[in-house]
Structure 1
């Protein structure tokens, strides 16, 4: 009698566990990288990002929405980077006399610029892109041509878990 109950119990487990790992489908495309397109870079942050619409976003987001997001980021860079360049120039001139302390203002301003861009991207993500299954983030990446690091905009696809029902 005990063997019969064990067998029924084991069969019930198999029947209730109708979903297997193969039934889950989660194919996420590679993230899209938007590199800096400007001619001035301060501490890895370019003075603007390219507004050309990437083909990988064609069915996900409207080109107008993409361009408005890039324009918001570029407007932050347009306002803050000239000030950062001036402080960097002054800091480099006085670097020997101040033992490097004259570079602190430009480091702080650069962090503030990155924080402002991250805030804009967070707002865009919460109001638009998360609903479309996308996530924008500002991150560091190694340059193709050298060992230097640069900041890029990474557009990640949020995985959707869908269950395939057996035929």
Structure 2
């Protein structure tokens, strides 16, 4: 008898989840396109530029203060400034020794690059919880195709989160 009750309860949960998912998709449909902040540095290692543009995008006017935007970009740029020179040195060393080591000398660069990306992602997540989620914005590091060539690059995407309707019943 209890088993039948559990099955009915699970079906109701699935229906509620489907309704919630449909409502969320409806809200996302009307959200504006995300703002893309591209790398503007002169050195790029595995798609990650050594600097991001700190110019305030006009699409964020009225959403966030220009000072907060620049402070966040400066935090990301300072993280890149600390880690990327080490990655470049290891890349040069790995390229010089590549023939002798059958390519294994490039592994430290790959690991350091992954570590740099993770530290930037953690920094952006901290920024999101500290400020941007309260403003219905979400910052994340994303891999995109370059506009000028066929290469891939990492950009910062600033997505607009939909506002939750507070008058909708639970």
Normalising by structure 2, report the TM-score. Answer: 0.80
Structure 2: distance between partners of 1:163 and 1:115: 35
Is 1:132–2:135 an aligned residue pair? Answer: yes
Residue ranges of structure 1 left out of the alignment (5+ in a row): 1-20
The structure showing larger relative contact order (alpha-carbon pairs under 8 Å, at least 6 residues apart) is: 1
Is 1:55–2:58 an aligned residue pair? Answer: yes
Residues 125 and 136 of structure 1 are in contact (CA less than 8 Å); yes or no, is this contact kept in structure 2? yes
Structure 1: distance between partners of 2:129 and 2:137: 10
Residue ranges of structure 2 left out of the alignment (5+ in a row): 1-22
Residue 161 of structure 1 deviates from its aligned partner by 4.1
Residue 159 of structure 1 deviates from its aligned partner by 1.0
Structure 1: distance between partners of 2:125 and 2:100: 40
Structure 2: distance between partners of 1:145 and 1:129: 31
Give runs of ≥4 in structure 1 deviating > 6 Å. none
Structure with a larger share of its residues in helix:
2
Residue 162 of structure 1 deviates from its aligned partner by 3.9
Structure 2: distance between partners of 1:72 and 1:162: 33
- The CA RMSD measured in Å over matched residues stands at 1.8
Structure number with greater Rg is 1
